[in-house]
Each structure stands twice: as C-alpha cells, then as structure tokens.
C-alpha cells in the first residue's frame, strides 16, 4: 500500500512541477496579456482558451 502512495505522490508532484513550469512559460511569453488583464489567473486562462 505504501508503494502505491509513494508512486501517486511522485506522479502528482511531477505533474504539479510540470504545470508550474508551463504556467511560468505561458506568463513569460504572454506578458502583453498580463498588461491588458492585470490578473495572472485571468491571463493564464485567456492563453489556455486561445490554444
């Protein structure tokens, strides 16, 4: 059982890290959206919807 929990923890940790890195890349590449919207979450959602 502990092995399963460890595997899940590793998987979620890596997914979270990848998501954070992707969000940073999007925010860096989409600074113009931040200036327009002013809210990082809104900017991120705008970029995601536009893809």
Domain boundaries, the chain: 2-50
3-state secondary structure 5-48: HHHHHHHHHHHHHHHHHHHHHHHHHCHHHHHHHCCHHHHHHHHH
Residue 17's pLDDT is 75
DSSP assigned state of 1: -
pLDDT at 31: 60
How would you write the pLDDT of the chain (51 residues) with one tens digit per residue?
A: 677 767 777 776 667 777 777 777 777 776 655 555 556 666 666 666 665
The pLDDT assigned to 16 comes to: 73
The encoded tokens of residue 19 equal 């998501």
Q: Which pair of tokens denotes residue 45?
A: 């959602």
Length of the chain, in residues: 51
pTM of the model: 0.34
């Amino acid at each position: 059982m502990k092995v399963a929990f460890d595997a899940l923890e590793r998987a979620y940790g890596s997914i979270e890290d990848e998501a954070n890195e992707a969000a940073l890349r999007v925010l860096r590449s989409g600074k113009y959206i931040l200036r327009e919207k002013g809210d990082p979450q809104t900017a991120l959602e705008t970029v995601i919807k536009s893809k």
